[in-house]
């Protein structure tokens, strides 16, 4: 009889209680879900033209600002100084108040120049600023 009692006790001792481990896993899961909802990504809202919209048609009725591969700024095929972008956009916006600004950055140009052009357009009072594929 003693053997039966000992064998019964050894089976109970060999079992692992998983309840505390599951509690810890659920607490970690809740922690990660709660912290993930508070993470906010910072970015810029960009308005890109539709695929069916022709950029050359938009050139006729919009203010097109090109950024070349050497980070030069061109408006209507004229080189514009970095500091004079806002004044030129203000002048063109006064001529046609409904015209949006379309920025065409070259793929090899700096992002800083493109952001400066977009900021200058906003400071000039134009809030309809789009980015188009540059050449």
Contacts of 121 (CB under 8 A, 6+ apart): 63, 65, 86, 89, 101, 103, 129
Is 43 contained in some domain?
no
Per residue in 35-88, pLDDT (tens digit) is 876 666 777 777 665 655 555 554 458 899 999 989 999 998 899 998 999 999
pTM > 0.75: no
Q: How far is CA 4 from CA 9, 14, 15, 16, 53, in A?
A: 9, 16, 18, 21, 86
In the numeric block, which tokens belong to residue 22? Answer: 């599951």
Is 60 contained in some domain?
yes
Same-domain pairing of 17 and 62: no
Domain count, the chain: 2
**Structural domain range at position 105:** 55-131
Same-domain pairing of 67 and 115: yes
């Amino acid at each position: 009889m003693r053997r039966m009692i000992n064998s019964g006790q050894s089976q109970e001792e060999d079992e692992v209680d998983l309840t505390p481990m599951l509690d810890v896993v659920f607490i970690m899961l809740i922690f990660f879900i709660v912290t993930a909802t508070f993470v906010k990504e910072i970015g810029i809202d960009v308005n890109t033209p539709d695929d069916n919209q022709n950029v050359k048609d938009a050139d006729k009725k919009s203010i097109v600002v090109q950024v070349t591969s050497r980070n030069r700024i061109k408006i209507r095929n004229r080189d514009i100084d970095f500091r004079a972008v806002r004044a030129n956009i203000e002048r063109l916006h006064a001529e046609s108040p409904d015209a949006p600004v379309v920025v065409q950055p070259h793929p090899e140009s700096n992002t800083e120049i493109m952001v400066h052009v977009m900021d200058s357009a906003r400071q000039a009072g134009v809030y309809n600023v789009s980015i188009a594929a540059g050449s």
